[in-house]
Chain A
Amino acid sequence: RKEVEQDPGPFNVPEGATVAFNCTYSNSASQSFFWYRQDCRKEPKLLMSVYSSGNEDGRFTAQLNRASQYISLLIRDSKLSDSATYLCVVNHPGGSYIPTFGRGTSLIVHP
């Protein structure tokens, strides 16, 4: 099993839709969880950090389920500008201190 797994998609949704992605991780000791957004031919940019059960930032909500070892990202009222690849990142203490990146989930929002 890969350390961090994401459905590559693409998720193809109309503007205004609500879409959710999941990311599963294998190390139960993981403590840090992040969602990054990466636009085509650009660097990853931090979207949200998830340190407790979850957090919300405008249209974006991230949740952590430790029992089932996954994090989710919910995007409400999708905009065309939300089209990007969303990367899940997981880190755990006492390890190599190298955060583990998922392969990303592609989102395409169409008019």
Chain B
Amino acid sequence: GAGVSQSPSNKVTEKGKDVELRCDPISGHTALYWYRQSLGQGLEFLIYFQGNSAPDKSGLPSDRFSAERTGGSVSTLTIQRTQQEDSAVYLCASSFGIGAGTGTDTQYFGPGTRLTVL
């Protein structure tokens, strides 16, 4: 079946511009996560959506970052007034649920969007 998809695969933008990154989770998956990964670094959690609950935004690095998830499916991560330090790979993952120890919390990742801010 179809996996997690993300678009665009690459985005080059100028400092100060806004960008939107899109994630299409696996159909039926209720949980959706955004991470970013800078070159040679580990995954940095950004935001998490679960069903109709309020998202957990605890990982967003600044108020320039926001995300929404429409209809419990597609999610968009928006970065306003991009800075050079925003350059990274932005990864989206989805899972069937969130039940630790049940198997439903296994995450599947999309291919990522490589963002370069000039």
Contact = CB atoms under 8 A, between A and B. Distances in A.
Contacts of A89: 107
| Chain A interface, DSSP helix/strand/loop, else mixed | loop
B56 A91 contact: no
Q: Indicate the member of A43, A51, A89, A92 with the most B CB atoms within 10 Å.
A: A43
Contact of B107 (A31, A96, A99, A103): A99
Q: How large is the interface on A (under 10, 10 to 19, 20 to 34, 35 or more residues)?
A: 20 to 34
A98 B33 contact: yes
A17 interface: no
A84 to B, nearest CB: 14
Interface of B: 31, 33, 41-43, 45, 48, 50, 56, 58-59, 89, 91, 98-103, 105-112
21 contacts: A30-B100, A31-B100, A32-B105, A32-B106, A41-B89, A43-B91, A43-B110, A44-B43, A87-B43, A91-B100, A93-B100, A95-B100, A97-B31, A97-B100, A97-B105, A98-B45, A98-B56, A98-B59, A101-B45, A102-B42, A103-B41
